[in-house]
Structure 1
């Protein structure tokens, strides 16, 4: 079914409560594992429909944040979703403690039961008002950013539509663009500080009421960290500082020389060539058609996937003034349909949508017929491995998007992927520090961020911009407000993707076979087991990053 034809009806919470009460009654009365599993299959239908309706409301609200009907829908789900989460966990507790658990565990899998355990530690009826408050604050932050109005040469642009100018080959243009871009954040600094201060305090209160010392324990459960700990991530961060930051700095120095600059200023971040970064050729419609051709040629599976996405209008990628910034892939269970939301703006990021977000979507599509819904509950480092690796697997087709500058794009994407790891790891350490000491005031938080920038990105020069020099850059990073503790998953995944990059350069066919296997494994095993089965080295293993750096250094003659 085409996206615009999918009917939307706001869920009836009374009906939802009755449905869950009926599930619980039938589950309790079932006298065998087989009968309890039959009840559980009805649970799949109920929760899938709830997620479909709430996701439709979210997408259509994000497409036009001035639409009052869907804004009302978003407000409604912000308010009721904590209650739904609580009903869900209450049902899952029965599953977890079932006397027929051995049978159910054999059907659903051990990973699912570990995730249920984490879910039970993540939500409770007593914190529902705080969870509602958290949702409202996140929506307020996104509404503020989505309605940004920046005067640019007589046009009024939002933050997403400023991107081409922030990366202009004309340094004077990008300096002026960054001045206006950062001025928006500086002008709203107190509001942004207030949103985050309230979010930190709200999340900390939730954690304390759930019996945690601070939000980090609760946050790790909510991120379904089912096989590694805070200390494992701290060790990964140490590896990044020791083994990867020096490599990334060599890439920045090479970029400085390529640009012919005496030094790198913050306005030069993300700019790779004197004649400008390669930009995709063609209209948004032509870019999507190029994606269709690429995926048809890549493999039979990806071809069928992309035809399904395009034929059912499961992309909304054109940037508009009233559209939410950023991009994502989400899923509509009732239709077994991924959906990709983005803001095309004429930069290489438009092509990245067709690779990165399609990596997520492809994995969801290829396992859509798996009868065990819990297999779709992949943890984020695995999900991002699917997307970031797809960015590399699609490199042979970049001529379809960039024409004569395909090689420039491939080189730029490689450098950008490598240089992301220090930044993403820095975002994680920032949040680790903030939630470990939620009493820090806004000024101290900014000082923490600026100190971390000097450790992870020592080349950065913010001279002339007081807002960034004082540590305000982090306030543009949606994940810090919306998805606490998420960002390290990108870095773990990027480590996997770089391993695939080395592998595919040596033997593309076997690397692709491994990737397909990883996608199909879904969440049938824990992350260490998945990467081992796929033939990758676990990024948490000491020496993994050092080995990746050595192989990349040899490849690039650095």
Structure 2
């Protein structure tokens, strides 16, 4: 697809039917089997790329438009259709990749697409079989039900009807009384959907446990790791990482929270004070959404020629859907419309510093996708999530010196918030991961027992935290607002791993900014051509799994 002018909102959409897909897929398999040498098989493989680009573009477009307005019946229907057929598409992919894996011309193909791709195929074959199709369909429907429930949960507050994302401006208000009032109203609303949240998760756990048993695994933890394409580390490596966080980082974070308590002039930190860093309130962006984009344009034009080209491309094609709306899905993400070689960014501006994070964090993802979008080998962009989150979290730090454009005289406060928020996040990400390991190791746990497990983990990872009169969050339900736990099991540890890598990049940029930036671009361009620890080592960063890593990192952090 050439780079002709187009706008995201005007892109044509047409459903990819399973019948048309299966016909084209069958032709590809036949041609692959009949190919007479590796070169001919690779030519067929490029037809596989073209088919998957077409399918993924339609699915991403439909999902984004559904997320933009979950009350839109047409795109809700399209999402339900893809929820049903996507396991069948997955079935074809695994069948085809098995042919690739077992090809008598594998040496030629491996030379073309790389050893990492073949390791990923090996993992994919362990994560999927046709027996899972009905279970995957049920899982998809449950995930969509959760997403819609959260998106349609509205709160009436001070004369406004707000979704949960738009409530954040009050939940992080500098006025503590406002925070308490907003939290109380939110709590009352969330309690009305608490039973449904329990019911959906009960069904998801049971479903995923059945998937694991169908694949003859002891439990879903092993299958979950295969689903997440863990190709260079194990659950034992992750458990060791979490233990190092408890030993070295939690004490640092606790001291940081104590400093924050003093800054806020409070006797103790309550849940309503989470994410509030200054007595005068967190810095908020100056100006409108248009002003934020104008500042982003200036920032990326000055950062590097590559970021200048990237951000102008995003603006020219209007590839952002970031304004908050009542029926819009919560949260934010970046994805790729591969037919158009275009990154897209979805988010919910809500008047907090999180709006700027969209222009840094999500643009970190999108910039990497832009840099590598024309790679002939699609497998090179099949990046694992800890790699992807290193791109985005590091970009947050690289853009730090332009924060005056967004926050004016409070830019330094934002940089302080950014560093402290990064440190505070790592234990939370580990807590989410350990919770999921507990839940899927013991699928028989009741909703109440899950909540008790969460409360115990809060004591280990967030000992500073207290709950005052919040029947929802105080009852060990915080995780039910973390959509990854419902929709993307075992994803969340990737953020914690990546944050430690981003902090390493920050250390490098504090010493020599341009040298660090060149390493970052080099890391981004590696994409998925090597395994995560190797790619870090190539740019002089340490793997989070190395002995002594966390202790050394903590010693270097200057609060």
- Please classify the TM superposition score into its range, dividing by the shorter chain length: over 0.9
Distance 1:264 1:5 in 2: 48
Tell me the TM-score normalised to structure 1 length. 0.99
Distance 2:414 2:240 in 1: 33
Partner of 2:105: 100
**C-alpha displacement of 1:329:** 0.3
**C-alpha displacement of 1:309:** 0.3
**C-alpha displacement of 1:470:** 2.2
Aligned residues: 554
Partner of 2:460: 455
For 1:257, which of 246, 253, 262 is the aligned residue?
262
For 2:305, which of 300, 303, 306 is the aligned residue?
300
Give the alignment of 1:339-488 within 5 angstroms: 339-488=344-493
For 1:236, which of 235, 238, 241 is the aligned residue?
241
Deviation >3 Å, runs of 4+? none
SS state at 2:347 partner: strand
Q: Would the aligned equivalents of 1:327 and 1:340 in 2 still touch at CA under 8 Å?
A: yes
Deviations 1:327-384 (A, max 9, x none): 0001100000000000000000000000000000000000111100000101000000
Partner of 1:537: 542
**C-alpha displacement of 1:31:** 1.1
- Structure 1 unaligned blocks of 5 or more: none
1:81 has 2:95 as partner = no
Q: Which moved more, 1:468-477 or 1:489-498?
A: 468-477
Give the alignment of 1:47-446 within 5 angstroms: 47-446=52-451
Deviations 1:491-514 (A, max 9, x none): 000000011111111111111111
Q: Would the aligned equivalents of 1:284 and 1:317 in 2 still touch at CA under 8 Å?
A: no
SS state at 2:156 partner: strand
Partner of 1:8: 13
SS state at 1:157 partner: strand
Deviations 1:239-270 (A, max 9, x none): 00001000001110110111111111111110
Distance 1:353 1:152 in 2: 25
Q: Would the aligned equivalents of 2:297 and 2:312 in 1 still touch at CA under 8 Å?
A: yes
SS state at 1:99 partner: coil
**C-alpha displacement of 1:120:** 1.1
Q: CA RMSD in A?
A: 0.8
**C-alpha displacement of 1:123:** 1.4
Distance 1:527 1:157 in 2: 40
Deviations 1:17-48 (A, max 9, x none): 11111111110111100000000011100011
- Structure 2 unaligned blocks of 5 or more: 1-5
Deviations 1:301-321 (A, max 9, x none): 000000000110000110000
SS state at 1:160 partner: coil
Partner of 1:489: 494
Partner of 1:508: 513
Distance 1:153 1:456 in 2: 35
Tell me the TM-score normalised to structure 2 length. 0.98
Q: Which moved more, 1:285-294 or 1:320-329?
A: 285-294
Q: Would the aligned equivalents of 1:119 and 1:222 in 2 still touch at CA under 8 Å?
A: yes
Partner of 1:551: 556
